[in-house]
Amino acid sequence: MHFPTRHRLALAAACTLLAAPAVQAQGNFPSQPVRIIVGSEAGSAPDVLARVLGKELSAGLGQAIIVENRAGATGTIGANAVASAAPDGYTLLMGTVSNIALAPSFYPIKYKPTESFTPISMVASVPLVLVASPATGIASVEQLRAKLKQAAKGSYSYSSPGVGGPQHLAGVLLGKQMGTELLHVPYKSGGAALTAVAGGETQIGFAGIAAAIGLVQAKRVTPLFVTAGQRFPQFPNVPSAPEAGLPELDVDNWHALFAPAGLPAPVRATLEAAVNKALQSPEVKKQFESLGAAPTGSTGKELAEKVTAETARWTKIVDDNGIKAQ
């Protein structure tokens, strides 16, 4: 069918007008405040890291960054809120290994880690540190290995903030590497789990570096190794996992920024560039390291690959060991 020239011109003009708002909206992004949803309470590591990053992002993007806490169900409530939000770049998620890679194995979540989000950038690497109670007399991984060889299976216990978190699964991996079975004792919080080690309720436990520093300095717990490929600035004398002869114990409680699936490419590029620039700030690096985190930027593509790999890795570990939520 052919239209008269004047009709074709009118139709073209109308299409241009209809398309203009969408193009303009992306070109001017962001034109309003951006929310970063955190799946844990105020004062938690994801919350504080999001606020530190948000301050620098606000300066770079020229808009306010609002951190909103949607705590509960190991961060899956917040993640689900972002997965179902409009993909316009104004609602983001501070995702973690827990609510992205681990949650599918333990909770009936509605979102799919590799499909429900647009990966923006890695934000931080957050390794753990294995600490021992001074009452055990253990001061190194070698001494721990020797003690476990002499002990009956299940007689040595380790504490964690709960079933299905990186601290719990790190303990499962440690038992496998040591050729024994450790008794898992879950607590209601990371602080309670760490206090249990300090008080001798459990022999060992994995903890966040920032949480452990005070107790290490007070000699209430003894650090054995950090679950990273290299040593961490706060514990320069504590070996890394490979140095301790435990390369499989590379356990990262990583944090990363995500948007809902379907985010327009120009908006994604703007956010990716802004996040990576913010992470280069000396002040951000200083504050992150004080929280036991290392600023770790990436491209969205690299983050997508990491999510796929981490989800597959932890799903296999959970399945192979028959771990279930309690």
pLDDT tens profile 192-226: 999 999 999 999 999 999 899 999 999 999 999 99
Q: Does domain 128-249 have CATH number 1.10.1040.10?
A: no
Nearest-angstrom CA–CA distance, 142 and 138: 9
170-200 residue pLDDT tens: 999 999 999 999 999 999 888 899 999 999 9
Mean pLDDT of the region 228-235: 93
| Start-to-end Cα distance in the chain | 66
Specify whether the CB–CB gap between 266 and 29 falls below 8 A.
yes
Phi, psi angles (nearest 5°) of residue 234: -70, -25
Going by pLDDT thresholds of 50, 70 and 90, the confidence category of residue 326 is: low
Same fold, 33-125+252-320 and 128-249: yes
Task: State yes or no: pLDDT of 325 exceeds 90.
Answer: no
Question: What CATH fold (topology level) applies to the domain 33-125+252-320?
Answer: D-Maltodextrin-Binding Protein; domain 2 (3.40.190)
The structural domains of the chain, with segments of one domain joined by +, span 33-125+252-320, 128-249
A 10 A CB-CB count for 23 gives: 12
A 10 A CB-CB count for 32 gives: 12
Pairing of strands 204-208, 157-160: parallel
Nearest-angstrom CA–CA distance, 108 and 126: 26
Nearest-angstrom CA–CA distance, 217 and 62: 41
2-44 residue pLDDT tens: 434 444 444 344 444 444 333 334 568 999 999 999 999 898 8
Reported pTM: 0.86
Nearest-angstrom CA–CA distance, 92 and 117: 10
Please give the pLDDT value at position 21: 39
What is the average pLDDT value for the chain, to the nearest integer?
A: 91
Q: Residue 312: beta bridge partners?
A: none
User: Range with the lowest mean pLDDT among 22-31, 228-237, 251-260?
Assistant: 22-31
H or E segment and range at residue 204? strand 204-208
Please give the pLDDT value at position 27: 65
Specify whether the CB–CB gap between 255 and 46 falls below 8 A.
yes
313-323 residue pLDDT tens: 999 999 999 88
Nearest-angstrom CA–CA distance, 204 and 196: 9
Q: Residue 160: beta bridge partners?
A: 186
Tokens of 278: 């913010």
What single string gives the DSSP state of each residue in 249-293? Answer: G--B--EEEEEETT--HHHHHHHHHHHHHHTT-HHHHHHHHHTT-
